[in-house]
Structures are given as C-alpha cells and as structure tokens.
C-alpha cells in the first residue's frame, strides 16, 4: 500500500469510528437513594450526548421505559453500594435489576457509586445484567466524592470500547 492509499484507509477507519460513535443510542436505568447515582447517570448521559450519542431514556430501575430500552443499542445500569462499608457490600436493589425485562442481544454496561469500598458489587451487577440476556461490555465503580471526574472517565471508556467494537 502506497502512502496515499495508507492515509486514505486511515481516514476511512477514523470516519467509520466517528460514525459508529455517533450512531449509538443509550438507555440508562438507575437506583438512587440520596441522588449520587442519579447525578452520575445524568453526567454520563451528558458526556455521551456531547459526543453525538443519543439518550433514549434515563429512568429508575423500578420504572423502566420499555420503548427507550427497545430503541437503545447500549443499556447502562447504575446503582449504589450497600453493606457494612468494608464487608458485605452488594448492589442495592439487585432484585429490581433481576426483574427488568429481557434485553437479549443488547450491549450493556454497569456502574455503582460508593463511599469507601465497592467490594464485589460490580461482579454481582454484571451477573444479573448478563442473566437478562445482555452482553456486558464493562463496568466501573465511581467514588461519590469524585462523581464528576469518574462519570466523565466512565463515559470515555464506553466511547472507546464501542468505537472499536
């Protein structure tokens, strides 16, 4: 391949990558008691929207918007860590996550907010969301004192994971 062809193929690869990013539709489902996880979800949605992604819905896990889920390519599920802070941590509302409608064939990602130590919360969330039929591409624990920075980081990870997927 000559230099001109090489730069043309790099151009197409980048354009394709930008197009893939631009076309993603995302639905977010959230459990939140004191607002941290909800705020994180809003920040994540805002960051993704800034890059051209479409948010089809942002709803409580207990009140999923079925049309928003159907329209989405990626479902993001967020909750908060509940436990005895250094032991027994688990995702709050896991029963509600388990009761979500099947999202077979969709990609999904999980996040939790925490104060001290998330323990195995993300692993438990991934198991539940996988059981709904989704392909979980990743997850991140966001410290409640760093919600803005960690939400931005999570959104960036989602964008790079799906740009090459």
Ligand X SMILES: Cc1cc2nc3c(=O)[nH]c(=O)nc-3n(C[C@H](O)[C@H](O)[C@H](O)COP(=O)(O)O)c2cc1C
Instruction: Determine contact, residues 140/78, Cβ cutoff 8 Å.
Output: no
Q: How far is CA 42 from CA 38, 47, 52, 72, 151, in A?
A: 6, 9, 15, 16, 9
The DSSP call for residue 165 is -
150 binds ligand X (CB under 6 A): no
Near ligand X by CB under 6 A, which window of 51-59, 69-77, 83-91, 148-156? 83-91
114 binds ligand X (CB under 6 A): yes
Q: Is 73 helix (H, G, I), strand (E, B) or coil?
A: coil
Instruction: Determine contact, residues 38/80, Cβ cutoff 8 Å.
Output: no
**Looking at 24, 68, 69, 80, which residue binds ligand X (CB under 6 A)?**
80
Contact letters for ligand X, residues 116-135 (x by CB under 6 A)? xxx-----------------
**Alpha carbons 11 and 106: distance in angstroms, whole number:** 29
CB of 134 to ligand X, least distance (A): 22
Near ligand X by CB under 6 A, which window of 96-104, 111-119, 128-136, 157-165? 111-119
Alpha helical stretches, state H, 36-89: 36-50, 66-71
Select from 161, 107, 158 the least CA-distant residue to 135: 107
13 binds ligand X (CB under 6 A): no
Q: Which parts of 14-43 interact with ligand X (CB under 6 A)? A: 32-38
106 binds ligand X (CB under 6 A): no
57 binds ligand X (CB under 6 A): no
4 binds ligand X (CB under 6 A): no
The footprint of ligand X (CB under 6 A) covers 32-38, 80-85, 89, 113-118, 144
């Amino acid at each position: 391949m000559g230099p001109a062809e090489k730069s043309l193929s790099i151009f197409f690869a980048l354009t394709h990558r930008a197009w893939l990013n631009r076309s993603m539709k995302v639905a977010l489902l959230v459990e939140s008691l004191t607002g941290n996880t909800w705020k994180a979800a809003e920040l994540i949605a805002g960051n993704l929207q800034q890059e051209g992604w479409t948010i089809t819905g942002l709803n409580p896990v207990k009140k999923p918007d079925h049309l928003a889920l159907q329209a989405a390519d990626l479902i993001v599920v967020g909750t908060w860590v509940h436990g005895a802070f250094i032991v027994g941590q688990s995702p709050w509302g896991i029963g509600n996550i388990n009761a979500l409608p099947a999202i077979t064939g969709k990609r999904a990602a999980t996040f939790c907010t925490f104060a001290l130590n998330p323990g195995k919360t993300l692993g438990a969330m991934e198991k539940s969301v996988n059981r709904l039929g989704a392909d979980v591409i990743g997850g991140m624990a966001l410290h409640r004192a760093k919600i803005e920075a960690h939400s931005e980081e999570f959104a960036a990870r989602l964008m790079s994971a799906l740009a090459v997927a």
